[in-house]
Structure 1
């Protein structure tokens, strides 16, 4: 999208000047400005990055890293600050939810593009998966169809870590492969991420000789509070004897109801919900086993895909995985279990009435049920606009009242109108800029012609609108 190219232009102009940008874009053979929601070819971005390396005399990895840092700040300035800040309470959660952010943005960007241009255009964003290590470091897995852009990631993640969580990180590539078994985003880069807290100047000197990796501040606070509890217990029981009873960790202050420390959920001994209510209350859910055989399905998904009413059929006969782009196997699903999964119905398996309609997409999360050795896919229909709802001959009533998809469709409809207005304003602004540029060029030509025909002092007087007396 034009948002990326606009960010790249802003970086060059801000750090190196307008002349450098003009030189760079002329060498790349691209236009001077880009519309935010307009789709541009990847080749334009790659050309700009390639020419930037040559014009600035800087290696590609350094240019991409710098672009990553600037892109993070550019997103904040463009109104995405609060959205980014709420992704997670720590760096691990932030990275874990990046795919969810891309999924949300794709709803708006794709829907707006479909609304304007009337043909689908998928946002092809990279995908992320993160793993915690025992030593506190992390392995960040980056998947993309665009090869050679992986060095943007350390720039973005490093800037987010410092700004949101006050920690400095180091990232290095430990593995780089091509995963042919994947259905897309075959480039797989693994980064080792280690972090060190950013202390005030005095504290930083004390800790500089012992770098720490992925320190969890919540655990430190909890351990400190537990120590204080033990000390208080010892003081209270010191007069009674030497033996100290174990102190039970208190989670909730009963007087105020405030959560003090960790939370331990309470589960009922048996599930207080019958099968029929569960399937009606969660109309879009599927339970399947290791062999992908369907064990249970919600009522709405049964209505749309009648084949699911035959328990024991294989799920991959009726659906394909759109995101993440992995094979439809239980091992692949478990590997990406923290990601959002998007399923799409197979046209050849749909009822005759669906043959001419766009295929239904479902988006949700996977939950592995160890005691049952089954997977629960808790999902909702992936619909962006009322038009998409009508195309599939579905109704708001088909979606559960508690499902926020209802609100999302209606709110997105309003947002589309705002985005269309923004697009029109951007186009008018660009047209005015071009007209102004042409006017300036014509003005220069007129002045050159005036100076060629008349003496300079006469021409200057005419330009200033003064009256010139005829002379010899």
Structure 2
């Protein structure tokens, strides 16, 4: 598990680089120690954007011989082995050095009150040049290798003892000690040997210093305040009394350590965040947010005091206004000014992005609603006009009239409809017609005929228009039979008995087209329409009246038709007409488009098994009604959902491709 976590640490560092943090990480420090010391500052910066982030903390102790102690604090136990993978990858990639890390101690955190785990790593690093010189010595004898291991273990023990006796605060070193430690720790370049020059005395007045650094506090080892900047006195009035203790007015937010000089010195390289205690503020100020300060602690050995150079921890202009502060309260050289303005711009961009996301989501929802409403509109339009005609009208095109050489038209009406209207309330008439027309409309889908229009109690249907099809007469005939069956389910509101309808059918040529700009309708024109209407008006109750041409179209197509005889037709003279009785090859359920149960189908098979073979081939309803069964002879039909199973005579058993188990 330790090896896996170490490898994860290496991968996590590479992931951060690929995610765009490469430049930010490279600028944290000029060497490995500076890099680690500034990790907490990086986490504090990221916490401005990710407020729920709970990052680990690091503290480094430098040793003169090139080694260092890395203190790791975290709330998540068991993840400390990720740290060596990250640090070793950083050292190799950024500083071209190899680092070895060993755990010196691992125990429950005692120094920090907010973390659960405290691990101390011993970090030893070598440059590549040193490793190159060591390569020829790889072929040492076993005794030399053992001697080196013993020396390393001894050095490790000495380092552990040195760690246990480490001083609280940094001690002053000579110039040569500083130079030697930096050269041994860094890459050895001359740029790392820089030694600053300090003046013999400080050339700045106390008043000027307090104005130049308006947010600073100086306190001694007992936390007694010695001096404070002018603006921090303004917003924390109690600091004007130099006898107070710093922990009486502030609490430490980060790092989460006890408020004493010992803990502060241990984490002196960390960024400190202090929060003003609300109970110490004037009564009028207690309603506003508590002021937070962010900065660094610097130990002054000669004065045995600590200076806290800080700035208000503010992220936006809103927070600045909430504390009743102004940008002028912050020193011009303080980057907090720029941070507030830049972060305000970033927050504005985030808010704009969120608004765009919300608008995008609203547009997506509206688009879905628009698509639903468009579908409803198209459904309504297709119910009024043929689909290809409706599409042409939507595109703004003119729909040319079309001539159809042959089609079959049906008219129907309710017998004694005028008397029914006179004896009933209008709502009863509407209810009756709605029930009847709903049943008829369903049948148009079953038999694939086109409903032209309804006027009062008159219902007009055509087959073969607007899409020409050879079986138009059979489709309309089956539809008429279905109308007659459906009419028995609609009650006369006067008598309470089923209503009676007259149906007339005629076959012939028509001209079809769209007429009108407002509420356009797809209409049929020609003498065929008049003749079909005459067949309906001269018909009898509950009879399907056929013209001579309709009879010829249905002859030998599996329908039972009887001759009515010669009658006088208005405007047509004498005509020999016929009555359609039934479909010889389709049951009532098939005519009505009702699904057959499996038991019913088996019963019919048993009744016919004695006289016919058990060979089946599938045909669609349209094939049956278009005359596909004309050659079958005495074949009979069994429905199965969308198919009709037709039992063929024995002489058709050679059609192997249609075999299906009964």
Give me the TM-score of the superposition, normalised by structure 1: 0.63
Return the match for 1:198 from 99, 121, 128: 128
Return the match for 2:20 from 52, 55, 79: 79
Match of 1:237 in 2: none
Give SS of 2:47's match.
helix
Query: For this pair of structures, how many residues does the alignment match?
Result: 325
- 1:108 aligns to 2:49 (yes or no): yes
Deviations 1:414-465 (A, max 9, x none): 2234445677899989xx9xxxxxxxxxxxxxxxxxxxxxxxxxxxxxxxxx
Could you say if the C-alpha distance between residues 426 and 206 of structure 1 is closer, same or farther in structure 2, counting changes exceeding 3 Å? farther
Return the match for 1:172 from 91, 97, 102: 102
Match of 1:283 in 2: 214
Give SS of 1:69's match.
helix
More helix by share: 1
Give SS of 1:376's match.
strand
Q: CA deviation at 1:202?
A: 6.5
In 1, Cα distance between the equivalents of 2:11 and 2:352?
A: 27
Match of 1:254 in 2: none
- 1:295 aligns to 2:236 (yes or no): no
In 1, Cα distance between the equivalents of 2:294 and 2:137?
A: 45
Could you say if the C-alpha distance between residues 150 and 291 of structure 1 is closer, same or farther in structure 2, counting changes exceeding 3 Å? same
Could you say if the C-alpha distance between residues 220 and 62 of structure 1 is closer, same or farther in structure 2, counting changes exceeding 3 Å? closer
- 1:68 aligns to 2:34 (yes or no): no
Residue correspondence of structure 1 range 237-248 to structure 2 within 5 A: none
Match of 2:460 in 1: none
Conserved in 1, the CA contact under 8 Å of 2:111 and 2:263?
no
Return the match for 2:266 from 308, 313, 335: 335
More strand by share: 2
In 2, Cα distance between the equivalents of 1:203 and 1:332?
A: 42
Return the match for 1:144 from 70, 74, 86: 74
- 1:99 aligns to 2:40 (yes or no): yes
Give SS of 2:105's match.
strand
Q: CA deviation at 1:342?
A: 0.8
Give SS of 1:154's match.
helix
Conserved in 2, the CA contact under 8 Å of 1:125 and 1:144?
yes
In 2, Cα distance between the equivalents of 1:344 and 1:316?
A: 10
Deviations 1:197-251 (A, max 9, x none): 23599766347689999974867454xxxxxxxxxxxxxxxxxxxxxxxxxxxxx
Q: CA deviation at 1:185?
A: 1.2
Q: CA deviation at 1:269?
A: 3.1
Rg larger for:
2
Structure 2: which 5+ residue stretches go unaligned?
Answer: 141-147, 156-180, 365-656
Residue correspondence of structure 1 range 143-292 to structure 2 within 5 A: 143-180=73-110, 182-198=112-128, 205-206=135-136, 216=184, 220-222=188-190, 262-292=193-223
Q: CA deviation at 1:366?
A: 1.0
Q: CA deviation at 1:76?
A: 0.9
Q: CA deviation at 1:168?
A: 1.9
Could you say if the C-alpha distance between residues 221 and 409 of structure 1 is closer, same or farther in structure 2, counting changes exceeding 3 Å? closer
Give SS of 1:348's match.
helix
Q: CA deviation at 1:319?
A: 0.2
Give SS of 1:107's match.
coil
In 1, Cα distance between the equivalents of 2:21 and 2:137?
A: 34
Residue correspondence of structure 1 range 107-126 to structure 2 within 5 A: 107-110=48-51, 121=52, 123-126=53-56
Could you say if the C-alpha distance between residues 389 and 71 of structure 1 is closer, same or farther in structure 2, counting changes exceeding 3 Å? same
- 1:416 aligns to 2:347 (yes or no): yes
In 2, Cα distance between the equivalents of 1:425 and 1:149?
A: 40
Give SS of 1:135's match.
coil
Could you say if the C-alpha distance between residues 426 and 79 of structure 1 is closer, same or farther in structure 2, counting changes exceeding 3 Å? farther
> Which structure would you say has the larger RCO, counting Cα contacts within 8 Å and 6 or more residues apart?
1
Match of 1:22 in 2: none
Q: CA deviation at 1:86?
A: 0.9
In 1, Cα distance between the equivalents of 2:15 and 2:354?
A: 19
In 1, Cα distance between the equivalents of 2:345 and 2:21?
A: 19
- 1:320 aligns to 2:251 (yes or no): yes
In 2, Cα distance between the equivalents of 1:171 and 1:424?
A: 48
Conserved in 1, the CA contact under 8 Å of 2:65 and 2:185?
no
In 1, Cα distance between the equivalents of 2:16 and 2:192?
A: 34
Q: CA deviation at 1:63?
A: 3.0
Match of 1:88 in 2: 29
Match of 1:135 in 2: 65
In 1, Cα distance between the equivalents of 2:353 and 2:16?
A: 17
Q: CA deviation at 1:189?
A: 0.6
In 2, Cα distance between the equivalents of 1:322 and 1:68?
A: 28
Residue correspondence of structure 1 range 361-440 to structure 2 within 5 A: 361-419=292-350
Q: CA deviation at 1:272?
A: 2.1
Could you say if the C-alpha distance between residues 269 and 173 of structure 1 is closer, same or farther in structure 2, counting changes exceeding 3 Å? closer
In 1, Cα distance between the equivalents of 2:248 and 2:213?
A: 22
Match of 1:346 in 2: 277
Conserved in 2, the CA contact under 8 Å of 1:198 and 1:204?
no
Q: CA deviation at 1:103?
A: 1.1
In 2, Cα distance between the equivalents of 1:372 and 1:395?
A: 34
Deviations 1:343-384 (A, max 9, x none): 111111112232122211111111111221111111111111
Give SS of 1:108's match.
coil
Q: CA deviation at 1:266?
A: 3.3
In 1, Cα distance between the equivalents of 2:62 and 2:203?
A: 35
Q: CA deviation at 1:181?
A: 5.2
Deviations 1:57-95 (A, max 9, x none): xx3x23322221111111111111011001111111111
Structure 1: which 5+ residue stretches go unaligned?
Answer: 1-58, 111-120, 223-259, 433-470
Q: CA deviation at 1:126?
A: 0.6
What is the RMSD computed on CA atoms of the aligned residues?
A: 3.1
